[in-house]
Amino acid sequence: MNNKTLLSPLSLSHGKELNTLVENRKAYTMNHCELNVFETFQRSELVPLTFSDLVVTSMLRGKKVMHLFDKPGFDYLPGETVIVPPNITMKIDFPEASINQPSQCTALAINHQEITNTLDFLNENYPREDNKTWQLNYNQFHFFNNYELAQLINKLIRISTGDALTKDVLANLTLKELLIRIMQMQNLHEINHNLHELSTDSRFAYVLEYIRVHLTEKLNIDALSQMAFMSKASFFRAFKHELGISPVDYIIKERLQLAKQLMNNPNNSISEACFKAGFNNLNYFSRAFKKIEGITPSYYKAKKRQKQTGVST
């Protein structure tokens, strides 16, 4: 699932608004969080940045190379989010920044007590399955924005930069939802990348491993519910609560990923890729592909063919 949803860029600073050409900062402070908007207008390397609170950073424009947790630097592009624990220094390269093509990034610093209160509330009132607890996973710190995450970050940006009298209340409610969404994405990522190891003590890992093995076959939700030892209604509710996506949507996205891999092979037609990936209706496949990917299967295949052959279609 490598799609990413872009955020809405903000208007760039100009003239007297600019105090520096490297990581020029505008800050919007509320009761439980602070939204920082950083803009860089010239190439720079290893620019340090540290926050005393957890920070959720999101790229709006341009390109960064992030150096974090003593790991190799990685490209950081629009449509992506990175979470950084308190008091951890990011070192950032700006390989392409210029006056005409600046980088722009938000950094949402969240009060530690607000995070603790949210986690305590979730664990007390909405506990996870299989004796797991709600917690942020800093091993999974860089991810592509899905539609829901992008909508929440855009909403927080609008609230923070607006002047509504209720902005603190609105920001606080949206913060809780943002934290939940991030943890759901992390839960899904952890299970997806450790299916076999987790399948013995996690009912959802067991179900997801079964889905992956039998993806091209007919999958029955009632049967999947029974594997999780749940009623169908409880299974749907718990699956989405834990992983942020319904079991039906998960299966569709996994099949679309397989279909894309199959279409990358020039010997497979769109119809063949559709049915080999487990879909049984070409029109439904095309609609689902357009909804998730934003383009039609024929356009995707044509662009792949152009890339492979170097010939425009």
Q: What is the pTM of this model?
A: 0.91
Q: What is the pLDDT of residue 37?
A: 98
For the beta sheet containing 74-76, the strands, ordered from the edge strand earlier in sequence to the opposite edge, are 44-49, 90-94, 64-67, 74-76
State in words which class domain 249-309 has.
mainly alpha
- Report CA 30 to chain centroid distance, whole Å: 24
Per-domain residue ranges for the chain? 15-188, 194-245, 249-309
In this structure, what are the phi and psi dihedrals at residue 245, rounded to the nearest 5 degrees?
-150, 145
Q: What is the pLDDT of residue 88?
A: 97
State in words which class domain 15-188 has.
mainly beta
Q: What is the pLDDT of residue 1?
A: 43
pLDDT average per 10 residues of sequence, the chain (313 residues): 84 92 97 97 98 98 97 97 98 98 98 97 93 93 95 98 95 97 96 90 95 97 96 96 96 97 95 97 97 93 85 57
Q: What is the pLDDT of residue 175?
A: 97
